[in-house]
Each structure stands twice: as structure tokens, then as C-alpha cells.
Amino acid sequence: MHFLTRPGSAKYHQNVTVCLKSQRKHRIHTLSTSVRAAAVVDSPVPIWNEIYPLKNDLMLRAARGEIVERTPVWVFRQAGRHLPEYNAYKAERNRNFLQLLDDPADVAECTMQPIRRYNLDAAILFSDILVILQALGMKVEMPGGVGIQVPEPLVNPEEVASRLPASVNVHEKLAHVIAAVKLIKGELKGKVPLIGFSAAPWTLMFYMLGGSSKKNQEVAASWLTKHPEESRKLLDLLTDVVIEYTSAQIKAGADMMQIFEAMGDFIPEPQFYTWALPCMQRIATELRARHPKVPLLVFPRGASYSLPALQQAGYDVVTLDTRTGRAETRSALSIASASAQPPLGRVSSVQGNLDVAFLKRGASTPEEVRAATACMLEELGPQCLIANLGEGLTGAEDPVLVAAFVDAVHEESERLIKAASLKTEH
């Protein structure tokens, strides 16, 4: 197998053959070394959108609040360690997770694996929220069993200036991610849209100061009080980088953009509105100005109180985590939408929020997953909805149950939509 070398090297531009191993046929799928393939890697505007028009636009229509014939579905962390083909591929490549992320061909293969297995309505870039920290020059590690770590976090306010650059050229520092987006678009061939993503600034700051999601959880929040000036500078820098990074993904071919405020749990509500929300508002405003046709999705995990404000900030789809009540949230969002001024008040689509526990190995039967999914669809309504989980897959899930969830979304939502149509006719 020949895999792409890092962008910028002579070999990278000469050899754009991408060897993608099919889980079913174990065949080599080649994009070829033609001039056209080279153009895909290097061109500022991807040609795949012209070659392969989108065949399944359910996600885009649902995000815009348009009527759909069935509810679209994708899954947080749908690519990765719950899939046996991913674990086999990683072992074959003899690479850990972070090493896979460095190679655009590996990223493309891992992104495509769940698309081959499940009847999903979107692919999501196989990546990690902390690649931005790497672009800022910070070390990111995965020692195993404890999640991703930042072994050398910022230790004092002075290091905001001494250790971090004033700005980041994402096209240089994250060129391998941008190249991967283009390769994935070519492999998808318009089958489903591609979702790009980034962490929100507060979440990035949380890791930069605490170093882990499992320890030093109070460090970042305490900085906001103890070092407000440096906190603002850091959040402003991170907001700038997130905007440029997500915009680069969109220019490379991403059809939708998901912002993850994964550490919303670890900032008090008043501080969220003072510090985290303005960053997310600026991201939405800037991306909407640059890419008005690209739907924006947001997930403030553990901070569902902010959903109406994020809706009014310009996000097309707001995500409910597992703990968020469905009916009351729909009601609150409808009230907020009705009271806002256009264009901020036009957003009413939601995403979520089946409990991932239903999909754990041995936890449920496919019939029980279907029943829970039907309940979710009835409570949220099948329209203006992107079905998903309330948390990401952990690796302990049964692919059979994940497939049961995906299929149940399509079949049960079609049933509800048809029933509503018949009721209207009569």
C-alpha cells in the first residue's frame, strides 16, 4: 500500500494515490495519480462537488427547517473504536489514534468505514478536537486508557504570550486535515454530505490549562476569575483559529459544520454567558457571513440552558445532550425563535438525543432500541430534527445495536410523517 505523505513534501504532490481498504472486498480503491487528482489536493475550490452532486440532502434540508420524508441520522463518534474494521485497520497500520490523524489517507479510510456499514445520512471527518492545540505548538498525547492528554499545559498567565503564537496559519499547520477533507469528498462521490467540526474556544482553553478531561477540572474556570485579561486574550486567539480552521474545512468541501462545546459541564452558567457564549456567537456570525449556505450545528454538552441563546446566535441546529428534556426544550426554542428578529429567529432545528447506554453491548435488544428511538422521535417530532445520540460513542457499543438505531430512525420517522400526512388529509 502507498499512503500519502505529509502535505508540502514533493512526494505528496507527485503521488496522490489513496489506497482505501474495503471492509467487505478488501480491495484497493485508487483515486489515481492523474492531474485531476492532484488538482483536488491543491485546488482552493474542490472539484468533487461539481463531479458528484449530492444524492442525499436530508441533513441539509432538516438543518434548514425544510420538510423531509424521513428524519436524517448520524452518530457522534460514528467512526472509530466501536467498529471491528477500525480496530483491524489500526492494527494493520500499526498506528495509534493520533498517528492515524496525521495521514490524510488513514483519515479518509476511517471516515468511510461507518458509511459502508450503516445507512447513515452524513459522514463526519475523522479527527479530534485537540488538533488545534497541536497547531498552536502544544504537545498532545494518547498514553492509552486515560484519553487524550496535554502533558505540558499552560502553567501561568505569562505563558499565553511566551508559548503561543499571535496567530496560526491553518493552511500550513493543519494542511493534512484539509487534504483529508478533499480526499473524503472524492471517496463519498456525493452519497451523503460531509460534516466538518471543531471544538469551541472554551473547550480548547479547558484542555490547554488543565491538560485532561479527567483531572484539574477547575483550573480553567478559576483562570476566568483570577486572570481575566489573559483569559480574554486566549479565548480571542482560539476563536480566531476556530474560525479560520472551520472555514478552511468548508472551502475544502465540508457541507456542514459542527461546533463542540464538549466541556460545557465545567463552566458555571454565569461564566458561560460571559466568556464562552461570545466566542461561539462570533464563530457563527463570521461563518454565516463567509459561507451563508453551509448549515451550522452546535453541541453545548452540559450547558443546555444556552440552547435558545445559541439558536439566536445563528446556529441552524442546536443539540440536546442526554440529560436535556425534549418537549420543554422544543417549547423553549420555539418561544425564543418567535421572539427574535430575523434572521436570528429563523432557526428551530434540533439534534439528539438517544441515550448512548441503549447501544452498549448486552444492554438492550434491537427491539428495545427501536422502542426508545420511536419515543425520542415522538417527543421531538420527526421534522426539523437530526437524530443522534446525547453523547458520543465510547467504544463499548454493539454495531448491531447502532444499526438498529439508525434503521429505526428512518423507519419510525417515515411512519410518523405518513401518519401526520393522513391526519391532515382527513
Summarised one tens digit per residue, pLDDT across range 309-355 is 999 999 999 999 999 999 888 888 887 766 655 444 455 799 999 99
Indicate yes or no: pTM above 0.85: yes
1 belongs to a structural domain = no
5 belongs to a structural domain = no
Each residue of 198-244: pLDDT tens digit?
A: 999 999 999 999 887 667 778 999 999 999 999 999 999 999 999 99
> What number is the average pLDDT over the span 89-101?
96
Task: Give the domain range for residue 244.
Answer: 10-425
Q: Is residue 25 over pLDDT 80?
A: no
Please report the pLDDT score of residue 90 as a whole number. Answer: 97
3 belongs to a structural domain = no
Please report the pLDDT score of residue 87 as a whole number. Answer: 97
Each residue of 342-372: pLDDT tens digit?
A: 444 455 799 999 999 999 999 999 999 999 9
Please report the pLDDT score of residue 328 as a whole number. Answer: 86
Residue with the bigger pLDDT between 416 and 217: it is 416
> What number is the average pLDDT over the span 123-141?
97
Please report the pLDDT score of residue 26 as a whole number. Answer: 37
Query: Of all residues in the chain, what percent carry a pLDDT higher than 90?
Result: 77
Confidence category of residue 47, pLDDT binned at 50, 70, 90: low
Please report the pLDDT score of residue 338 as a whole number. Answer: 67
Each residue of 135-191: pLDDT tens digit?
A: 999 999 987 667 789 999 999 999 999 999 999 999 999 999 999 999 999 999 999
Q: Is residue 413 over pLDDT 50?
A: yes
Q: Is residue 5 over pLDDT 60?
A: no
Omega before 156 within 30 of 0, i.e. cis: no
Confidence category of residue 12, pLDDT binned at 50, 70, 90: very low
Please report the pLDDT score of residue 341 as a whole number. Answer: 52
38 belongs to a structural domain = yes
Q: Is residue 92 over pLDDT 70?
A: yes
- Tell me, what CATH number does 51's domain have? 3.20.20.210
Please report the pLDDT score of residue 423 as a whole number. Answer: 77
Please report the pLDDT score of residue 426 as a whole number. Answer: 60
Q: Is residue 42 over pLDDT 80?
A: no
Please report the pLDDT score of residue 19 as a whole number. Answer: 36
Mean pLDDT, the chain, integer: 88
Number of domains in the chain: 1
4 belongs to a structural domain = no
Residues present in the chain in total: 426
Please report the pLDDT score of residue 215 as a whole number. Answer: 72
